[in-house]
Amino acid sequence: MNQSFATHTPLSTKAWPFYVLMMVLTALLISLFIAALCMGSVPLSLNEVWQSLKATAILTSESDILWQLRLPRSVLAMVVGVHFALAGLILQAVIRNPLADPSILGVNGGASLAIVLCLLAVDYVQLHLLKLSDAHFDFVWLPTIALLGGVLATGLVLKLSWRQQLQPNQLALNGVAIGAVLNALVMWAILAWGGNRTETSLIWLAGSLYGRDFSQLYLLLPWTFVGVVGCFLLLRHLAILQLDSEAAQTLGLNVKRWRLVSLFIAVALAASATAVTGPLGFVGLIVPHFAKALLARFGLGASLPHLMIMCILSGAALTLAADIASRTLISPLEIPTGTLTTLMGIPILLLLIRRQS
């Protein structure tokens, strides 16, 4: 064979543009975090923030705001952003469709329906069966219920696609169908029986971080650990799953098994995050594209380890920025964070895609 290219061209995987990019994003994230602690309906100076953080006991109203409100909320925003972004990254690889996001497996629909039904049922039981004058509900249970709902809905989607080897198209079609049915049921339940729970339900459905504290964060962190470690270990298999299933199989990958494992990790990430904040629109869809476009602009290939790091950083940053905006734009009122992730994310995405082509 013609050996004219035999001169060995060294592989130029230039590492430094990636590290620069990573540093810049990290710096951005840290600045956002500091801003998140300072900004709000009661502005705090950097010094006040620092003093409150150092204090061991909550003495002042500043440290109260910081420890009870802003710190847990901001950390939660970042963690949830990471959850949705990684879930989106995994799903887009497994489903082999750039439009895949956590809602495609019915996670949102299942979680929403579980929450709404639960709120309504508790009200009904307390008001009509127990004849209590005022319905009381312990909100601590909501995340667990949402998680259950999300996992059940996804289980149904997987069950329906099982016979077809969890083929991407089947998954997407079944997921969209189940999701549509669930969302219709949610709306119907709210409209028909919402009563005084209509507002609570709608706020949860819009995706919000209002009133979240450390207890929710603790609930989430085990899943964060499972998700991030799982995702990291899964990267090589995900890369192969991105090829078509025949190619993946000839490379010695047990396609069905690894699809299932990947989907499990994605669902664990998405459902647990949805449980705590409600569906934060489009984070899972946008962030992986954002990460890819960013890497492409810096002349880097879309290698999954790089993408994963980019997704973690930009997912956290996007959600945190959206949450800051949601608290400050029309303070003291709030815009649901989910609304803002959508409003902020979509233009960024469109811009990047335009620039790229």
Partner 1 sequence: MLQADKVSLNYQHKPVLQDLSVSIARRQITAIVGPNGSGKSTLLKLLGGLSKPSEGAVSLEQKPLYKWRPKALAKKLALLGQSPLAPSGMLVRQLVGHGRFPYLGLFNTLSHIDQHAITWALRKTQLEHLQNQPLEYLSGGERQRAWLAMALAQQSEILLLDEPTTYLDLGHQFQLLDLLKQLQIHEQKTIVMVLHDINQASQFSDRIIALKNGEIVADGTPQQVVTEQIIKQLFNIDVSVVPQRYGKTTKPLCLPIDSHNQITPNSAVPLRSAAI
The site for partner 1 (CB under 8 A) is made up of 1-6, 8-9, 11-12, 93, 96, 98, 233, 236, 239-240, 242-244, 246-247, 249-254, 292, 296, 301-303
Q: Other C-beta atoms within 10 Å of 211: how many?
A: 11
Q: Other C-beta atoms within 10 Å of 114: how many?
A: 24
Distance CA(243)–CA(260), nearest Å, equals 16
Distance CA(212)–CA(92), nearest Å, equals 29
Min. distance of Cβ 32 from partner 1 in angstroms? 27
Min. distance of Cβ 240 from partner 1 in angstroms? 6
Residue closer to partner 1, measured from CB, 47 or 357: 357
CA distances (Å), 242 to each of 109, 245, 290, in order?
A: 26, 8, 18
Residue closer to partner 1, measured from CB, 215 or 356: 356
Query: Are 313 and 301 within 8 A, CB to CB?
Result: no
Residue closer to partner 1, measured from CB, 9 or 133: 9
Distance CA(2)–CA(7), nearest Å, equals 12
Min. distance of Cβ 153 from partner 1 in angstroms? 27
Min. distance of Cβ 82 from partner 1 in angstroms? 22
Distance CA(138)–CA(116), nearest Å, equals 14
What tokens does 266 get?
A: 């994605």
Distance CA(249)–CA(263), nearest Å, equals 18
Distance CA(344)–CA(210), nearest Å, equals 19
CA distances (Å), 210 to each of 57, 207, 263, 281, in order?
A: 24, 9, 29, 16
Enclosing H/E stretch for 79? helix 71-94
Residue closer to partner 1, measured from CB, 205 or 228: 228
Residue closer to partner 1, measured from CB, 189 or 311: 311
Min. distance of Cβ 83 from partner 1 in angstroms? 23
Q: Other C-beta atoms within 10 Å of 176: how many?
A: 16
Distance CA(107)–CA(117), nearest Å, equals 16
Min. distance of Cβ 314 from partner 1 in angstroms? 16
What tokens does 193 get?
A: 């029986």
Residue closer to partner 1, measured from CB, 187 or 239: 239
Residue closer to partner 1, measured from CB, 1 or 333: 1
Among 145, 159, 82, smallest CA distance to 114 is for: 145
Min. distance of Cβ 8 from partner 1 in angstroms? 7
Min. distance of Cβ 107 from partner 1 in angstroms? 23
Min. distance of Cβ 292 from partner 1 in angstroms? 6
Residue closer to partner 1, measured from CB, 147 or 293: 293
Residue closer to partner 1, measured from CB, 181 or 243: 243
